[in-house]
Homo-oligomer: A and B are copies of this chain.
């Protein structure tokens, strides 16, 4: 099946394709300029964005919202990760954590909607890990160069895409989406 991911971020679509293609789902990036949705939680942002897109995207589609939550910073930058990345960036985050505990987690919430569904279906993926002492790697995007997933010694930006996807918050949410689609779809639509 073909599935649209509505995003302006080609990295996200590439990750989704890496996660879902092996499961028989072909992800197509679909960009629709949309108003900024900000809310207290990733779930709300993803849900509102998916609902706003209804009628503007043909067929089944999904959106995601993701954030980095640093424990020593009370969850900062959290739902504002994209903004914080654009302003203070990795250098700013590392400066804030100088001498502080490094525990952090990435979270991703996917909102899936298809014609006939009254509300988006939400799926959450979490990847625990820690903030590196310095940026490393050229892959990925956003805070990837400073995030080391639990059990690894390399950052998300250093890991091959397939390995990142197997571990990452987005990969885990996408895995749940694939399982849900497989289990909830009439056989004829598979």
Contacts and interface: CB of A to CB of B under 8 A. Distances in A.
A147 to B, nearest CB: 18
A74 B96 contact: no
Interface in A48-85: 73-78, 80, 83-84
Interface string A91-109: 0100110100000000000
A52 B116 CA distance: 29
B96 A88 contact: yes
A84 B77 CA distance: 8
A83 B80 contact: yes
A87 B83 CA distance: 15
Copy number in the complex reads 2
Contacts of A77: 87
A74 B83 CA distance: 10
A41 to B, nearest CB: 10
Given A39-B38, A80-B80, A73 B96 contact: no
A38 B83 CA distance: 12
Nearest to A86: B74
Given A76-B83, A80-B83, A96-B96, 5 more contacts: A36-B38, A74-B86, A76-B88, A95-B96, A95-B98
